[in-house]
Amino acid sequence: MTARQLDTANRKDSGDTGSIAESDPFDSRYRLDVVALNTADVVRFAGGWLFDRVMAGWNVTVFVQDASDLRPLRILGVGTGDLESVLESRRNGMYPHTVAVESDLYSSDIRVRDGVHAALGHHPTEVTLWGDRIPPELDSDVRLVQHRLSLAARAFKAQALVAAGATEPDVAAAETFCTGRLSRPRVRSDLLPAG
């Protein structure tokens, strides 16, 4: 059970899209870049949302520090890339429509922190964070939101959790995030206020 991205511009399967820096500059799909420490946390906190975005036609790429097992991400249908290379390149100020960041990585890597602040301050990019602790310095810049998972997202997330080592995957109907307040978002968000 694996969801695969379809590259409609080139009519080829792109389940392993590699680095965004190598992606097609003429790809007109919405883009979501995710940065995280490991695949298990990506699946646990955001797997259903990422799956639903892929199914909605988004180009979703996850950049992880520990890329030892990417199978859970492939089950969700997202592309993968090397975190270190994307942080070093900075991609000349090119920002995706949405950036999703693991809060522990935000707290531990100054390059990630600088990128989040740049996106929050100067670009019409949706910035989303997840994790057990949201950094206190962002309290005034973010609000709590959630994504209600489709039934398919719940099924694929459960399989991805098993592939990531979960013995009894418990998939909730919604995933909760913090997102940056945007004055002019480029796309309509599927994240709804929580609570």
Q: Residues with Cβ < 8 Å from 162, sequence gap 6 or more?
A: 169
Map out the domains of the chain as residue ranges. 30-193
**Regarding beta strands 59-66 and 174-180, do their DSSP bridges make them parallel or antiparallel, or are they unpaired?**
unpaired
Compare 131 and 121 and report the one with higher pLDDT.
Answer: 131
Compare 48 and 115 and report the one with higher pLDDT.
Answer: 48
Q: What is the mean pLDDT of the chain?
A: 81
Residues 94-128 pLDDT 10s:
678 889 999 999 999 999 998 888 877 766 788 89
Distance CA 136, CA 155 (A): 34
Distance CA 129, CA 106 (A): 9
Is the pTM for the entire model greater than 0.85? no
Compare 169 and 46 and report the one with higher pLDDT.
Answer: 46
Residues 156-167 pLDDT 10s:
999 999 999 998
User: Residue 137's CB: how many other CB atoms inside 10 A?
Assistant: 11
Distance CA 113, CA 111 (A): 5
The side-by-side arrangement of strands in the sheet containing 98-102 is 79-82, 59-66, 31-38, 98-102, 126-130, 174-180, 142-148, 192-193
Place of tokens 């942080």: 87
Q: Quick one: tokens of 84?
A: 């270190």
The whole-number pLDDT of residue 3 equals: 55
Residues 141-155 pLDDT 10s:
778 899 999 999 999
| Residue range 3-31: mean pLDDT, rounded | 52
- Write the CA distances from 121 to 116, 124, 162, 167, 179, integer angstroms: 8, 9, 38, 41, 13
pLDDT greater than 80 at residue 27: no
Instruction: List the one residue out of 81, 69, 99, 70 whose CA is nearest residue 17.
Output: 81
| Residue range 172-189: mean pLDDT, rounded | 71
Lowest mean pLDDT across 74-78, 125-129, 139-143, 183-187: 183-187
- Write the CA distances from 90 to 86, 112, 118, integer angstroms: 6, 10, 11
pLDDT greater than 70 at residue 92: no
Distance CA 113, CA 106 (A): 5
pLDDT greater than 50 at residue 6: no
Distance CA 190, CA 99 (A): 14
pLDDT greater than 60 at residue 8: no
Selected from 3.40.980.10, 3.60.10.10, 3.40.50.10320, 3.30.1280.10, the CATH number assigned to the domain covering 30-193 reads 3.40.50.10320
| 175, 146 contact by CB (below 8 A) | yes
Compare 140 and 116 and report the one with higher pLDDT.
Answer: 116
